[in-house]
Amino acid sequence: MLLRHTLPALLACATLTLLPAAGAQASPADTVDTKVTVGPAVKAPVSKKAVPFCESHKCIALTFDDGPSANTTKLLATLKKYKAKATFFVMGSQVKKHPVLTKNIAKGGHEVGNHTWSHPWLTDLSSGEIYKEINETQKVIKKATGKTPTLFRAPGGLTDEDVNAVAAKLKLIQIPGTVSTKDYVKDYRNVEFLTTAALEVAGPGEVILMHETVKETVDSMPKVLATLQKQGYFFVTVSKLLEGQKLVPGESYPQRSVDEVDDGDELSGPGGEV
């Protein structure tokens, strides 16, 4: 009987001992913090500078000079079929005759570069004449495409200090090309030869110089594109190929360049098609 009366009293005393006194502040140990603190969002690490596409892929730049021409539309269709991009170095006089073709080149996602107005050997001209040849071509390309070119290729690959100075003044990068199929040599103009030539000179980072005015070059493109595509190549514009590099107007890139005038006696010469 004594245990029955004393047990409730003992429990009551124990409870009073555990509770804080009325009006007293509870210590941090006496309370539970239910407040949730949210830290800053954690972002996935992002590279400050994206790696240029062609530093991690097998890229090659196909370039076609002297257009637009009667072969442009066929060439554009072939490039589209193989999802290939290219750079067209056009002549101002041809752009004036074929503004729609020039516009179609740009609409196809290809790059349009400057190849002078009338295809003279610029090293034979005065600074003023060089400026007129290049600047008038800049204007007519801008009118046809809505965009001012940033790339320039001198006919025959012939440049000197005057040419470099004019190119720099017009904020143009010079692109001589690194290899060539030599389709400017008349005796080489057959599809089989030019197909073989293109495949032999192809390599990662190369800028292949060709001419869209040469029908056999255009006819060789399906096999060239299909073969190189199977080898893992990506066909890109020159600007895409050079992406990430510091380019100085007036200078030539890539640094290694083809000498187009090796067979100078086979070229048609100033004002000619090639």
User: Given this model, what pLDDT does residue 257 score?
Assistant: 65
Measure CA 205 to chain center.
Answer: 12
- Does 117 fall in a domain? yes
Burial class (CB in 10 A: 0-12, 13-18, 19+), 124: exposed
Residue 18 lies in a domain: no
- Which residue range(s) make up the domain with 138? 62-266
The 10 Å Cβ neighbour count of residue 190 is: 12
Residue 106 lies in a domain: yes
pLDDT at 112 over 50: yes
Catalytic choice (65, 98, 119, 183): 65
Active-site residue identified among 98, 162, 211, 259:
211
In the chain, the percentage of residues whose pLDDT exceeds 90 is 74
Residue 104 covered by a domain: yes
pLDDT digits (tens, 9 = 90+) for 32-48: 443 444 444 434 444 46
Evaluate whether 63 touches 112 at the Cβ level (below 8 Å).
no
Domain count, the chain: 1
User: Is residue 242 predicted with pLDDT exceeding 50?
Assistant: yes
Contacts of 110 (CB under 8 A, 6+ apart): 76, 79, 85, 86, 87, 88, 237
Closest listed residue to residue 235, CA positions, set 95, 108, 49:
108
163 vs 75: CA distance, rounded Å:
30
Q: State the CATH number of the domain containing residue 93.
A: 3.20.20.370
Q: With respect to residue 16, please indicate whether it lies within any of the assigned structural domains.
A: no
Please give the Cα distance from 144 to 67 (Å, whole number).
Answer: 14
**Residues paired with residue 152 on neighbouring β-strands, in sequence order:** 114, 174
Per the annotation, the verdict on 211 as an active-site residue is: yes
In a domain, 15, yes or no: no
The reply to whether 81 falls in a domain is: yes
State residue 193 phi and psi, 5-degree precision: -65, -45
Tell me the pLDDT tens digit for each residue of 155-199. 999 999 999 999 999 999 999 999 999 999 999 999 999 999 999
Asked if the structure places residue 4 within a domain, the reply is no
